[in-house]
């Protein structure tokens, strides 16, 4: 693999070492490979790791197959991919409800397989959505950028926002749920709020209220600070507002789980540009009360 990365005009001068370690968050193992093999070029020339990097420069990174062993991903159907953003390092797609993000069993074909077919090479999931949830999913197009994006996600520098249609009317216009979430010992498919669970933070904002034959409901926006399994679904249900159509946590049926990941935003690790991607879902909109 070979990557040529131009340094943006907004870049503040720093050394090669500082750029790789502090800004691009390149893992120590990969930095060692680049250094020992002299596989990093500054403006086409080999360089010291103390060389300054300035706006307008270009870094070239070279990787052997033993740096990143080839990953085999069975290709799915490229035509099923709704791509909303793509560059040489990453791709953001709009996943339909009813499709798994990645396969759990041998022979399964999921979103990852379809995106890999669309790109023409194995891709890597940065974060996942539940099968029943529609919306934006970020994937890395190469193993070099994957840990960098994972680090941004762990540091809460990738913002994910969801729309949810929930039962009842929320008392407050805005709320923050901080209940810890763990496994349900009685049902392996479910999660629950428990004092021994992992930290989970969800910010909720009420958009609109509806009245209907099945009772009142509310359209809310949820922003994640953490990414626990079923986090939004569990938090809303625990606070008395389960998502309509949720097969695990709600008793109000619908044509689909009324949860859609509608916005994804972050600072691109290489261009330093703000990336804000929004996605609509026809099936989610059709499920809203009139």
Q: Name the catalytic one among 57, 67, 87, 130.
A: 130
* Confidence label for 29 from pLDDT (cuts 50, 70 and 90): confident
Instruction: State mean pLDDT over 61-83.
Output: 90
Please name which of 190, 187, 171 lies closest in space to residue 234, comparing C-alpha atoms: 190
Its pTM surpasses 0.95: no
Residues 249-277: tens digit of each pLDDT: 999 999 999 999 999 999 999 988 999 99
Known catalytic residue: 67?
no
Q: Is the CB of residue 181 less than 8 Å from the CB of residue 230?
A: yes
Residues 62-72: tens digit of each pLDDT: 988 878 888 88
Q: Is the CB of residue 263 less than 8 Å from the CB of residue 161?
A: yes
Number of domains the chain contains? 2
Q: Where a domain ends, among 67, 94, 122? A: 67
pLDDT of residue 10: 84
pLDDT of residue 91: 98
pLDDT of residue 82: 98
Domain containing 229 equals: 159-262
Q: Where a domain ends, among 11, 37, 67? A: 67
Q: Where a domain ends, among 23, 38, 67? A: 67
Residue 62's domain is classified under what CATH number?
3.10.290
Residues 129-171: tens digit of each pLDDT: 999 999 999 999 999 899 899 999 999 999 999 999 999 999 9
pLDDT of residue 66: 78
């Amino acid at each position: 693999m070979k990557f040529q990365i131009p340094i943006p005009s907004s870049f503040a001068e720093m050394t090669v070492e500082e750029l790789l370690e502090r800004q691009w968050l390149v893992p120590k193992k990969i930095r060692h490979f680049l250094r020992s093999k002299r596989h990093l070029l500054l403006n086409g020339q080999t360089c010291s790791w103390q060389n300054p990097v300035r706006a307008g420069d270009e870094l070239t990174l070279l990787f052997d197959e033993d740096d990143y062993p080839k990953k085999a991903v069975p290709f799915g159907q490229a035509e099923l991919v709704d791509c909303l953003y793509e560059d040489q390092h990453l791709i953001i797609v709009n996943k339909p409800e009813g499709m798994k993000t990645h396969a759990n069993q041998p022979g399964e074909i999921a979103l990852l397989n379809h995106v890999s077919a669309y790109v023409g090479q194995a891709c890597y999931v940065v974060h996942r959505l539940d099968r029943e949830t529609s919306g934006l999913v970020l994937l890395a197009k190469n193993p070099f950028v994957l840990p960098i994006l994972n680090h941004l996600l762990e540091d809460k520098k990738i913002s994910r926002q969801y729309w949810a249609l929930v039962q009842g009317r929320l008392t407050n216009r805005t709320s923050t749920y901080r209940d810890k979430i763990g496994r349900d010992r009685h049902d392996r498919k479910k999660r629950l709020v428990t004092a021994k669970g992992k930290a989970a933070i969800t910010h909720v904002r009420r958009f609109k209220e509806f009245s209907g034959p099945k009772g009142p409901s509310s359209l809310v926006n949820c922003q994640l600070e953490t990414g626990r399994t079923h986090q939004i679904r569990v938090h809303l249900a625990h606070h008395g507002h389960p998502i309509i159509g949720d097969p695990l946590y709600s008793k109000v049926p619908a044509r689909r789980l009324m949860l859609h990941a509608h916005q994804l935003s972050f600072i691109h690790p290489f261009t330093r540009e703000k990336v804000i991607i929004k996605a609509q879902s026809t099936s989610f909109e059709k499920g809203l009360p009139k």
